[in-house]
Structure 1
Amino acid sequence: MESPVIATSPATLHVVATPIGHLGDLSPRALEVLGSVAAICAEDTRHTRQLLAHFGIERPLVALHEHNEDAQAGQLVERLRAGEALALVSDAGTPLVSDPGYRLVRAARAAGIRVSPVPGACAAIAALSVAGLASDRFAFEGFLPAKAGARRKRLARLASETRTLVFYESSHRIEASLADLAEAFGPARPAVLARELTKLFETVLDGSLERLLATVSTDPNQRKGEFVVIVEGAGDDADARVAEGRRLYSRLVAHLPPSTAAKLAAELSGAPRKALYGG
């Protein structure tokens, strides 16, 4: 049996997962690493300073976010080359999962620096574990585009995806995103809405996309917080054909009369024409 890895090693970048809500989810190993590195690279130093203060940890902090990561990566790699151990954290959860950090990790690995994970909380995996939808194959899509047009195009491309789909969404876009999901995937597609995971007002709702949209639309409390949306994948046969037909129709109808676009989309996808266009 191999000996356990010591908390920190010289010239190592430790990628440390932090809680997504409940502070009790910070692992003993994460506490040991954060308390012993030369510095901690943090997405938001104010947020991380509060987390460290809760656990009585005082370490130098370096701001590392999407606007300065390219510039900071070289300087941090030089510190690692000099033998320092550094930690990388995000505001919550596992770094690099819809968060900054991959440029630093890539630069460190290219320089031959050891990069070591300190596993822990991840909102996507936490939601998937309680969703009750197929989890043997899934696709993580992160945040959908903020603009409606770009969001609908992305969803149209995903409509025929047979794997379970996992999205992050913010409180001010959750209603619009659910409406677009229902339009792109069909209102009856099963889904799960996980909100404020591990926090005081945690809720996990399941049902069709139409039902989840109705709940969020009528209950203001269900529009607050941070969300993970999990959507069942398209069926391997009929559902996939219809989803692909709708995707093709949405592209063709921009250039052809609706009836012609539906006819071509049905022929190309094998989906029933009436499922694509009611005319």
Structure 2
Amino acid sequence: MPGTLYLIPVPLGPTAPAESLPANVLATIKPLTHFVVEQAKTARAFLKAAGTDTPLQELTLVELNEHTKTNELDLLLAPLRTGHDVGLLSEAGCPAVADPGANLVGLAQKENIRVVPLIGPSSLLLALMASGLNGQRFAFQGYLPAKEADRSKALKELESESRKRQQTQIFIETPYRNRQMFDSILQACQPGTRLAVATDLTLPGESVLTRTIQQWKKQTPPEIERRPSVFLLLA
């Protein structure tokens, strides 16, 4: 019988303790000996804090990230095929959501390998919950274009779609470009459009603020430089 692929959520930042995860998640982690991770160094730090029955140096950790080639994915399923349970970890939050682990889950599903998602923090859902925007209809757009002209065009298209469908548009940015994204939103979107900025969710400096574009232009910009943030729009 093949093993089970467990989708293991991790805290959203280094200052959030592993103990903040549900007890059943920590209990699932303890007996595992095989993991697929985004970065081995940070995964080891998390597993050390979470606690494992097997000494850390004896665990098998294989990386799956943006550098992993498509033809390498098949090899990652090998332990599952031979009966080992495997834990899939992202760098933060839930694996396979805005995360390269989705490709491995897709292959596991094709082979009828059991996939079990575990409960844990999702910055996208937490941001939506706290934004006050439409939680009935929403879409996650991932990363928008990095170039200013392309980003502005994409923002206007998302705003138009939001207005048409009354749909909350959710997107993220590399933390060091957060301020450029914020400034682009203020320039591209209409005064009455609501923008929520959710930063450092579940961490000591957590902030979730929702204002219209017009209101944002009249107040001090949020402190989001190099801090993980989620942006949400509703026209």
Greater mean alpha carbon deviation, residues 80-89 or residues 16-25: 16-25
Change (3 A) 1:12 1:216: farther
**What is the number of equivalent residue pairs in this alignment?**
223
Q: Deviations over 1:84-136 (max 9, x none)?
A: 11010100101121111121111111122111111211001011111112211
Once the two structures are superposed, what CA deviation does each residue of 1:199-234 show, in whole Å capped at 9, x if it has no partner? Answer: 1111122212344356564x6x442411111111x3
Paired residue for 2:228? 226
Distance in 2 between residues matched to 1:81 and 1:171, nearest whole Å: 38
The residue type paired with residue 139 of structure 2 is A
Conservation of the 8 A alpha-carbon contact between 2:152 and 2:184: yes
Unaligned runs of 5+ in 1: 1-8, 235-279
Q: Which structure is richer in relative contact order (CA contacts within 8 A, separation 6 or more)?
A: 2
Structure 2 partner of 1:187: 191
Q: How does 1:1-279 map to 2 (within 5 A)?
A: 11-21=3-13, 22-23=16-17, 24-57=19-52, 58=56, 59-68=59-68, 70-161=70-161, 162-212=166-216, 215=219, 217=221, 221-232=223-234, 234=235
Distance 1:124 1:215, change over 3 A: farther
C-alpha separation in 2, matches of 1:173 and 1:28: 36
Cα displacement string for residues 29-54 of structure 1 (whole angstroms, at most 9, x for unaligned residues)? 22122222231111011111111112
* AA matched with 1:120: G
Instruction: State how far apart, in whole Å, the 1-side matches of 2:170 and 2:107 are.
Output: 28
- Structural RMSD (CA): 2.1
Structure 2 counterpart of 1:168, which letter? I
Please give the TM-score of this superposition, normalised by the length of structure 2: 0.86
Q: Which runs of 5 or more structure 2 residues have no equivalent in the other structure?
A: none
Say which one has the larger Rg: 1
